Amino acid sequence: MALLYTAAPARGAAWAAMFAEAMPELDVRLAPDIGDPADIRYLAAWTLPPGLIETLPNLDVLFSIGAGVDQLDLSLVPRQVTVVRLVEPNLAAAMAEYVAMTVLALHRDLYAYAEQQRAGVWQPLPQVPAGERRVGIAGLGQMGSAALDALKPFGFALSGWSRSPRTLPGVTCFHGDDGLRDFAAQTDILVNLLPLTPATRGILGRALFERMPPGAAIVSAGRGGHLDAAALVEALDAGRLSRAILDVTPVEPLPAGDPLWHHPRVVVTPHVAAATDNAGSGKAVLANIRRHRAGAAMQGVVARDRGY
């Protein structure tokens, strides 16, 4: 019984050492050292090397080493292979920190004050009580739920949107296409933590921005494919939106000449909102392998019809 790891070598080496101690009966192989393909029951990958999966006749589980699976071409994965995304507490905690940081910075006008500082302007701005600031999270999975929990102590008026109905204490929940319109219309700061699927690609676009209150802001920490960058620049230039904080962009790294680098109302961070660490991710995959071997349900199993 073997696990084949095909991604970053440093993480693979860390996993091999961890797995050897915690589950010595599992043979961990680091690509390109595949050995006998018939031994491989588990594959851990970020993307699928061309032609690899067809050579693994006894593969049971494909583990994505990230929180999403949009980078994987699931059409190449045999139907009998279970696809599992990474569910790791440290990821959710880090994302909650990023969301709290950016929402508070927007709420208390930190970026506007930074602009004033550069211009040598000493001018207090009106303060909005937290209870009157409407903060909405798009995407109510593990990341979204953790972000909402982090925001609750500040007293914001919280809402959330998801494709299917959800109920969360202290959160006004919306769902579906009609719910998205209503959600956008009552959101002053919109945080995107959605998975990237064909249904959500380009969701941060003109139609959504035009539904939001004038002067609203967005934080995008889901996937770059959610954003229509041209529509964002248009909305910012027109004053429809006041500011955007982007941890993910349509092309990564963001090209040197891209307008988003230099737009005065855009803040860019280099896809760092929630970084996967070697120990936490390894423990999560080990726990799922143990569940699989025991015939129990694994965490993060992907529903292929939904794409997450």
Among 85, 107, 134, 223, which one carries the catalytic annotation?
223
Give Rg (Cα) of the chain. 21
Among 242, 293, 295, which residue's Cα sits nearest to residue 264? 242
Tokens matching residue 165: 């109905």
Q: Tell me how far apart the alpha carbons of residues 214 and 216 are, in angstroms, rounded to a whole number.
A: 6
* DSSP one-letter string for 185-209: HT-SEEEE-PPP-TTTTT-BSHHHH
How many angstroms separate the first and last alpha carbons of the chain?
A: 27
What would the two tokens of residue 264 be?
């005065």
Annotated active-site residue in 271, 292, 293, 304: 271
- Compute the distance between CA of residue 123 and CA of residue 202 in angstroms, rounded to an integer: 37
- Active site includes 223? yes
Cα separation of 294 and 298, whole Å?
A: 10
Query: Which H or E run includes 28?
Result: strand 27-30
Go through 158-175 and write b for each residue having 16 or more CB atoms within 10 A of its CB, e for each that does not: bbbbbbeebebeebebbb
* Residue 175 a catalytic site member: no
Dump the DSSP string for 210-225: HHSPTTEEEEE-S-GG
Which residue numbers are catalytic?
223, 271
